Structure 1
Amino acid sequence: MDDRRLARRVRVLELYSAVSTCVLLVLALTAFRRQPGRARFTEMDVERINVVEPDGKLRMVIANRPRSIGPIYKGKEFGYKGGNRPGIIFFNDEGSENGGLGFSGARGTDGTYRASSQLAFDQYDSDQILYLSYTDQNGVRRTGLTVADRAEANIFDLVQARDSLQKLPASPARDSALQALVAPRNGVPLMAQRVFLGRDPAKSAVVNLSDPQGKPRLRLVVDSTGRARVEFLGADGRVTYSLPDSARR
């Protein structure tokens, strides 16, 4: 091999080495800038997204109606099946549902419509105790913020017991057991609305403050005509004192 051919091959190898080095450098810089396991999308269509912890427990589910999930307690399904709750469902550290955001609305073939939206947060091992909601049945609307009390009753055990009783043949004994299941626990109702702040179906702006049994005892109202009043109520629901009409009743 003469010196000229050898020199030409050396130059080719040098060029190859330089190009390879540049390519590797570009790839290294690109990999350095882009975080591993992270992707960026400008737009994406999806029917369901599961946000999970490293151990696989659900933390949040975003889904359309058909792919929405039913209630889940500590990773176990119970109650009713999914497919009817489009929106977002939240889960606590144990993989139990503890609130969510749901919404719906449609007009029927008869021309009437129904719509609703709700952002809710659940009591531990129970059901919702704080929620912002809107319901509308063809123009009859109720919108507001609710704060509730709930008895210390595990929702999973409660639903399991209810479902078992409902599978039994109808009888006075079964009906009695079902009534006992929803009875107060140590005098505390399974659910009692304590505070409501919002707009009622009568188009009044209201603040209702209720006792531990869920009975309204103080009400602030500005009705649909703009008239304002404050009402004090007894346990039977009757107004005992009101302002500006301060005469006792």
Structure 2
Amino acid sequence: MEKLIREVRILKIYAVSLTVICILFFFLGFKNQKNNQRFEEIDVERINIIEKDGTLKMTISNKSRQHPGMFNKKDLKPREREAGMIFFNELGDECGGLVYGADKDGSGMVYSVDQRNTDQIMQLQYMEGTGDKKNRTYGLKLWDRPDNFPMEEIMKFEDSLKKLNDPAASKKAYAKLGKEGKLTRERFFAGKTGDGDVGLFLKDSNGRVRLKIYVDKNNQTHIDQLDENGKIIQ
């Protein structure tokens, strides 16, 4: 009996010792392991780049899992977006991105830079249609956006118009925004238009083209100054 008790005690000591050794090897293995991991190839549908505190800074995603966008640290409603990269700043706002896509009707790629608290003010873009609508435009675009009409108010405004489903009311509402100086206006384009013109196209604060410096599809050069109605004055 005493021999059996002694053997059980030895087995217990052996088991405890072996467990301690395994635990030490486990932690030492992680301690000596480098933080950087190297992969020759990886397949993934979405990658989230985050800060140490978990703050989202960028997503790299396919179309089906693309982030819907975020403002004031709140995700927008689910919506269809193209594959690419979406950037987020420290305020919890989407602040730009690079997206691309193609289907039977056309293809394109856009790199956008967003204004604080609102949408894009600069884009490097390429668009091309197919079939009868086949045209190709590419270049740099700039917009003016008001500071007193942030993205949250824009979304509420657009949602309310969708619920009304009234084209006349929508037109009136947009006209009111224009008088209040809350509409986004395109101001600048440098690139190639769908008509085949290549050059600079400058617009006034109301979005009207006022100066065009370009070479047309027939290789003729133009420097056109226009009035508010689009009529060439020089």
* TM-score class normalised by the smaller sequence: 0.7 to 0.9
Instruction: State the shift of 1:185 in Å.
Output: 6.4
- Which amino acid is 1:155 matched to? M
**Structure 2: runs of 5+ lacking an equivalent:** 1-24
SS in 1 for 2:144: strand
Equivalent in the alignment of 1:96: 93
Aligned residues of 1:67 and 1:83 also touching (Cα < 8 A) = no
Which residue, out of 215, 221, 231, partners 2:208? 215
Unaligned stretches of 5+ in structure 1?
1-23, 242-249
Match for residue 10 of structure 2? none
1:190 alignment counterpart:
183
Map of 1:66 onto structure 2: 64
TM-score normalised by the chain length of structure 1: 0.73
Q: 1:205 aligns with which of 198, 201, 220?
A: 198
One-letter amino acid of the structure 1 residue matched with residue 162 of structure 2: Q
Q: Is 1:39 aligned to 2:37, yes or no?
A: yes
Task: Give the AA of the match of 1:144.
Answer: G
Is 1:160 the counterpart of 2:159? The answer is: no
RMSD value, Cα: 2.6
TM-score normalized by structure 2? 0.78
Change (3 A) 1:99 1:169: closer
Q: 1:178 to 1:205 in 2, by over 3 A?
A: same
Q: Can you list the C-alpha shifts for 1:200-229, whole angstroms capped at 9, x where unaligned?
A: 111110201111111111110101111111
CA distance, structure 1, for counterparts of residue 165 and residue 109 of structure 2: 37
Do the aligned residues in 1 keep the contact of 2:212 with 2:223 (CA within 8 Å)? Answer: yes
Q: What is the alpha-carbon distance in structure 1 between the residues aligned to residue 92 and residue 70 of structure 2?
A: 8
Aligned partner of 1:141: which letter? R
- Relative to total residues, which structure has the larger helix share, 1 or 2? 2
Query: Would the alpha carbon gap of residues 65 and 183 (structure 1) be closer, same or farther in structure 2, given more than 3 Å must change?
Result: same
Cross-structure match for 1:126: 118
Distance 2:232 2:172 in 1: 34
Does the Cα contact within 8 Å between 2:101 and 2:107 map onto a contact in 1? yes
- Aligned equivalent of 2:9: none
Match of 1:158, as an amino acid? I
Q: Which moved more, 1:201-210 or 1:80-89?
A: 80-89
Instruction: Report the CA distance between 1:120 and its aligned residue.
Output: 0.4
Paired with 2:176 and 2:69, the residues of 1 have a C-alpha distance of 19
Assess, with a 3 A threshold, how the Cα gap between structure 1 residues 56 and 181 changes in structure 2: closer, same or farther.
farther
CA 161–216 in structure 1, closer or farther in 2 if over 3 Å, else same: closer
| Compared CA separation, residues 166 and 202, structure 1 to 2 (3 A) | closer
Distance 2:175 2:100 in 1: 30
- What's the CA shift string for 1:50-106, capped at 9, x where partnerless? 01122222100010011012121122122x414432111011111211110010113
CA contact under 8 A between 1:148 and 1:194: conserved in structure 2? yes
Alignment of 1:9-48 (within 5 A): 34-36=33-35, 38-48=36-46
Aligned to 1:244: none
Q: Distance in 1 between matches of 2:144 and 2:204?
A: 10
SS in 2 for 1:51: strand
* Secondary structure of the corresponding residue to residue 167 of structure 1: helix
Q: Partners in 1 of 2:161 and 2:198 — Cα distance?
A: 41
Change (3 A) 1:201 1:91: same
Amino acid at match of 1:125: N
Shift of 1:237: 0.8
Query: What is the alpha-carbon distance in structure 2 between the residues aligned to residue 52 and residue 211 of structure 1?
Result: 40
User: What is the alpha-carbon distance in structure 2 between the residues aligned to residue 237 and residue 169 of structure 1?
Assistant: 32
Instruction: Report the more deviating stretch, 92-101 or 156-165.
Output: 156-165
